[in-house]
Structure 1
Amino acid sequence: MTETTIVQYLFKRLHQLGIRSVHGVPGDYNLVALDNLQEAGLEWVGNCNELNAGYAADGYARIKGISALITTFGVGELSALAAVAGSYSERVPVVHIVGVPSTISQKQGALLHHTLGNGDFSVFANMSRSISQVVVHLTDPTIAAREIDRVLRACYVSTHPVYIALPTDMALQKIPSKGLETPINLSMPPNDPSIEADVLDSITEIIYSANNAAILVDACAIRHRVIDEVHDLINKSQLPAFATPMSKGAIDETNIRFGGIYIGDVSRPDVKKAVESADLIISIGALKSDFNSGGFTYHTNTKHTIEFQVDHIKIGYATYPGIGMKSVLQKLLGSLDFHRIRHTESAKSKPPRLVNQEAENSGGQEITHSWFWPHVGNWLQEKDVIITETGTANFGILETRFPKDVTAISQVLWGSIGYSVGACQGAALALKETDRSRRVILFTGDGAFQMTGNEVSTMIRHGLKPIIVVINNDGYTIERMIHGEGAVYNDIQPWKHTKILEMFGAKEGEYMSYAVKTRKEVDELFQKGNEFSKAERIQLVELFMPRLDAPRALKITGKMSEKLNAKMEDTKYA
């Protein structure tokens, strides 16, 4: 019987899933495993720290569909946990592989480095249990292949991180390689046919009886891979369609049926009116977090909502557990008589404007959020990948109208400041492997950039060519909008951002840096077809904005968050 090793089986399975690069940081408990990457066709990234590596793995997975992260026991894995928790929160499939001490050392309770000194080798894996779909310890060669296949399937199907502990003395243990001949089954569990048929009948009847239905697409439609079905439904039904902050970019914004971004009371007035006047909401993949729902201010009627989720369907107040949306949507597309769907304009918004005319006519050369974000839409190209940081960029991009096939990456639910720089590295690397023609553009704040900006050196190391726009507004503006406008804790030490690329070792002629302080300078930089816009090298733009200026949506949400936080404190001490 042909044999392989446990680590080679694991790495070859990752390769079969489409992974080509593995993020992480070396440590003595994972070094033997790392020796085996290239033989399996995988490349080592080598990040600046484990937190950055976790963010990068998240960004890579959002492009490739799944990613892998390798850390070492204790000190390494704990450094990555904030990032892995973010991937769990945001439903991103990341395989977290941890090199751990040998099974012998663990049985003996040896007093090893990177431990708590108490002989307990399970404590760190237990910390990961609540942020992992499955936790697996590869300690038994007789079932190792089966366990690897089980955990990788769980990662892909659930779109959540998983945790694999690989002891040093297990990595090179021999196991049969026959399992590698059969691909891992990545299909969703089948729906019960009779219940699914009843659900389809009910949904069909409700859609036919509606006068002005609207489609509302959210994050889980992206995560659970039903965007193709969503586009078919929009195009065939010709119903107006709206996105949420977490699903920005999921809908083709050049489609005449696209109505804008719905965020409850934070929405533009025309969008709010259009969605809330609909007599039926077809909700696909809803994830109603505070920032994603305008501080829980949706004004839609549950009775008149059909909600599609990965593991259940809700029709009004009735829930059908175990009925997944992908199969239902596919069957619905094949059975609906689209001529019977009523079309009115009352539930349609005007398309988002490419230019904020009021800001455009306000005069002056100061770069404000109300002027900048609509302006960016004129410069973006089809198939761009846009990464926005938690803060002004996440809220500002909602005012930007995307060209066709633009991918947006953000972290609206987990909201970890600093996420975007690592995510940019991972996304850019994934595109280097798949489609080098697509531009990668990062919008981050000066405060967030200080947390993870060293990951730019990894971008340089791997020849990645993103456009990095650092918004210099003198500190944590998102926090200022919530509380403490002038508080010292929202201040930061100013950096010389235009020196960053040179400082991290970018070679002369392979990078460019710019400082932009006026609207005229933005227009000159953002000319289509110029050297900057071609994105043929890594580039960093320091974009200066007023300290207390913020996007419209952030100003409203910030006040809502402050009130919500105060309300919760009042309740706590009542």
Structure 2
Amino acid sequence: MADETTIVLYLFKRLHQLGIRSVHGVPGDYNLVALDNLPEAGLDWVGNCNELNAGYAADGYARIKGISALITTFGVGELSALAGVAGAYSERVPVVHIVGVPSTLSQKSGALLHHTLGNGDFSVFANMSRNISEVLVTLNDPTIAARDIDRALKACYISARPVYIALPTDMVLKKIPSRGLDTPIDLSLPINDVETETDVLESVTKIIYEANNAIILVDACAIRHRVVEEVRQLIDKSQLPAFATPMSKGAIDETNPRFGGVYIGDISRPDVKQAVESADLVISIGALKSDFNSGGFTYRTHTKTTIEFHSDHIKVGYATYPGIGMKSVLQKLLATLDFNKIRHSESAKSDPPALVNEEYGKFSGEEVTHSFFWPFIGKNWLQEKDVIITETGTANFGILETRFPKGVTSISQVLWGSIGYSVGACQGAALAVKESDPSRRVILIVGDGSFQLTAQEVSTMIRHGLKPIIVLINNDGYTIERMIHGEDASYNDIQSWKHTKILETFGAKEGEYENYVVKTRKEVEELFSKGNTFSKADKIQLVELFMPKLDAPRALKITGKMAEKLNAKTE
């Protein structure tokens, strides 16, 4: 009947309505019939090399598109994806995890099926996902399936966290009314209590007017909960100095003269540290004060002189206003603040840090050091609207020393910190860019150790005609671990690979890929130069960039020692 559809098509068409065009995952017998229906809903199947990579890729896709979908099979498939899904939960990334599960009849009878623990318990794997899912639903009742789908998808989008949807094999093609598809899912945020919000606005306005040298500190949840545009307007209209954190790199236009740099507590550059910590008011937006994001918990800001904006509460000094979301408050502030009343102090302004090669004399004059490379690419090679993915390790810390052109999107995993994340995330991000704005370059910077965990996903990039520039740092092992403990320990060593054979091995065709080997500063200057063929990024390219084994970015060296000390702490 025209007014009916199937449960699976209702779900897939809802994904399409949310802007998803490609679905990541790995096929398995409990999800195969569901996968047959993807084309009818206008969705493409990615087909990843394994479920862990698929989880990372869905994370990267969502950071570009705003939401993503991942399909795995019961037990063996879904468990393989969980580290990726947990990372999305930790980092506040909306991923819809759809799991094909055995039929409701098999579950009721406790059948001894493959992919089970052999004990008749079919809920055990869903329960494992419960604590890393904002909502968990099982579509085992056609009368409420549409409602459960809409509820889960809304929760995923608004909470910016994964949800888990179990789809039994005998429910896939069950008929349900299709009329719900005529009305888009209501993605509006909960409405703030009017009286409480008014009180917040009055308090915040008074404090801002009284401040002599306020600053704005932008963090990860400003990106995740979609207030980047409000933040941009606040910076432009108030003309207050604005600072990012490692997790919010790219959220602020770094060409804006009011951008002061990256604040990481005691790890910050001295001028940034002075500007933030001398402020008499910190307007903190979307704070996520994890160890690596806060310089090992070394923030020197004070609760009394801080206003914190969060997705579900506001803090003004020591007062907390639960249930008051920041988006509405920021929009009302932009509409009501008299920006002429906001005072500026010269001491609160922070000029961009000098991009200098700090350690030129430590290594030979020709070696490519971190202190040379990261400032260099920011000044000479990156371009507007680039998408740059950096791996947990040296790249995550090195990128902090790179000044971005306007419109650059930075993807990293500072909180969850799963080694190997960036390769999968690059595949997902590159696919999302191909769908939305193919003119953007996608750049992956990953270490040789991390690359070995998820290298297979380069195969998926080739399969889908994606064209990232992969900069593979060859520094002979797990440098981030060496900086924390065991500089020369064998457990931080890896087997050397022939990296320039990777693209060919994974099936890239002649003329559709390129390899480069870079060992000197002169070669960096020649290759990473605007306007050359390499920089056009018209094919997939891999650069093997050699760096000294024990060299590391300034911030990582300090953080490594802090982490080792924190790990050894007993009281």
2:452 matches 1:450: yes
Q: How far did residue 268 of structure 1 move? A: 0.3
2:434 matches 1:435: no
Aligned residue for 1:59?
60
Aligned residue for 1:39?
40
Aligned residue for 2:470?
468
Q: Is contact 1:70-1:98 (8 Å) kept?
A: yes
Aligned residue for 1:186?
187
- CA distance in 2: counterparts of 1:270 and 1:176, whole angstroms: 61
Q: What amino acid maps onto 2:439 in structure 1?
A: S
SS of the residue aligned with 1:136? strand
Q: What amino acid maps onto 1:424 in structure 2?
A: C
Match runs of 1:250-261 below 5 Å: 250-261=251-262
- What RMSD, in angstroms, separates the aligned Cα atoms of the two structures? 0.8
Aligned residue for 1:370?
371
- CA distance in 1: counterparts of 2:406 and 2:269, whole angstroms: 22
Q: What amino acid maps onto 2:132 in structure 1?
A: I
Aligned residue for 1:502?
504
Q: How far did residue 321 of structure 1 move? A: 0.2
Match runs of 1:522-561 below 5 Å: 522-561=524-563
Q: How far did residue 349 of structure 1 move? A: 1.5
Match runs of 1:253-272 below 5 Å: 253-272=254-273
Q: How far did residue 352 of structure 1 move? A: 3.2
Aligned residue for 2:418?
416
Aligned residue for 1:379?
381
- CA distance in 2: counterparts of 1:285 and 1:171, whole angstroms: 39
SS of the residue aligned with 2:328? helix
After TM superposition, the structure 1 stretch with the greater mean CA deviation from structure 2, 356-365 or 161-170, is: 356-365
Q: What amino acid maps onto 2:206 in structure 1?
A: E
Q: Is contact 2:271-2:353 (8 Å) kept?
A: no
SS of the residue aligned with 1:468? strand
SS of the residue aligned with 2:384? coil
Q: Is contact 1:478-1:554 (8 Å) kept?
A: yes
- CA distance in 1: counterparts of 2:334 and 2:244, whole angstroms: 20
Match runs of 1:117-266 below 5 Å: 117-266=118-267
Q: What amino acid maps onto 2:356 in structure 1?
A: N
Aligned residue for 2:7?
6
1:193-218 deviations in whole A, cap 9, x for unaligned? 01100100000000000000000000
Give ranges in structure 1 of 5+ residues lacking alignment: none
Q: Is contact 1:12-1:40 (8 Å) kept?
A: yes
- CA distance in 2: counterparts of 1:174 and 1:392, whole angstroms: 52
Aligned residue for 1:326?
327
Q: How far did residue 358 of structure 1 move? A: 3.8
Q: How far did residue 344 of structure 1 move? A: 1.2
SS of the residue aligned with 1:346? helix
- CA distance in 2: counterparts of 1:360 and 1:16, whole angstroms: 53
SS of the residue aligned with 2:348? coil
SS of the residue aligned with 1:48? coil
SS of the residue aligned with 2:47? coil
Q: Is contact 2:518-2:546 (8 Å) kept?
A: yes
Aligned residue for 2:356?
356
SS of the residue aligned with 1:474? coil
Q: How far did residue 527 of structure 1 move? A: 1.6
Match runs of 1:290-301 below 5 Å: 290-301=291-302
Aligned residue for 2:408?
406
Q: What amino acid maps onto 2:91 in structure 1?
A: E
SS of the residue aligned with 2:455? helix
Q: What amino acid maps onto 2:155 in structure 1?
A: A
Scaled by the length of structure 2, the TM-score of the pair is: 0.99
- CA distance in 2: counterparts of 1:126 and 1:365, whole angstroms: 54
Give ranges in structure 2 of 5+ residues lacking alignment: none
- CA distance in 1: counterparts of 2:65 and 2:353, whole angstroms: 29
SS of the residue aligned with 2:389? strand
Q: Is contact 1:22-1:70 (8 Å) kept?
A: yes
Q: Is contact 1:284-1:307 (8 Å) kept?
A: yes
- CA distance in 2: counterparts of 1:361 and 1:73, whole angstroms: 56
Q: What amino acid maps onto 1:285 in structure 2?
A: G
SS of the residue aligned with 1:184? coil
2:480 matches 1:478: yes
Q: Is contact 1:483-1:562 (8 Å) kept?
A: yes
Q: What amino acid maps onto 2:548 in structure 1?
A: P
- CA distance in 2: counterparts of 1:358 and 1:148, whole angstroms: 54
- CA distance in 2: counterparts of 1:155 and 1:316, whole angstroms: 31
1:30-55 deviations in whole A, cap 9, x for unaligned? 00000000000000000000000000
- CA distance in 1: counterparts of 2:314 and 2:64, whole angstroms: 27
Match runs of 1:33-112 below 5 Å: 33-112=34-113
Q: How far did residue 360 of structure 1 move? A: 5.8
SS of the residue aligned with 2:346? coil
SS of the residue aligned with 2:311? coil
Q: How far did residue 361 of structure 1 move? A: 7.7
Q: How many residues align?
A: 568
Q: Is contact 1:440-1:466 (8 Å) kept?
A: yes
Moved over 2 A (4+): 357-363
Q: What amino acid maps onto 1:376 in structure 2?
A: I
Percent sequence identity is 82
Q: Is contact 1:352-1:401 (8 Å) kept?
A: no
Q: Is contact 1:384-1:440 (8 Å) kept?
A: yes
- CA distance in 2: counterparts of 1:352 and 1:53, whole angstroms: 38
Aligned residue for 1:27?
28
Q: What amino acid maps onto 2:505 in structure 1?
A: M
After TM superposition, the structure 1 stretch with the greater mean CA deviation from structure 2, 339-348 or 296-305, is: 339-348
Q: What amino acid maps onto 2:474 in structure 1?
A: N
- CA distance in 1: counterparts of 2:167 and 2:417, whole angstroms: 30
1:257-313 deviations in whole A, cap 9, x for unaligned? 000000000000110000000000000000000000000000001000000000000
Q: Is contact 1:263-1:292 (8 Å) kept?
A: yes
Q: What amino acid maps onto 2:45 in structure 1?
A: W
- CA distance in 2: counterparts of 1:360 and 1:186, whole angstroms: 52
Q: What amino acid maps onto 1:356 in structure 2?
A: V
1:329-348 deviations in whole A, cap 9, x for unaligned? 00000000000000112112
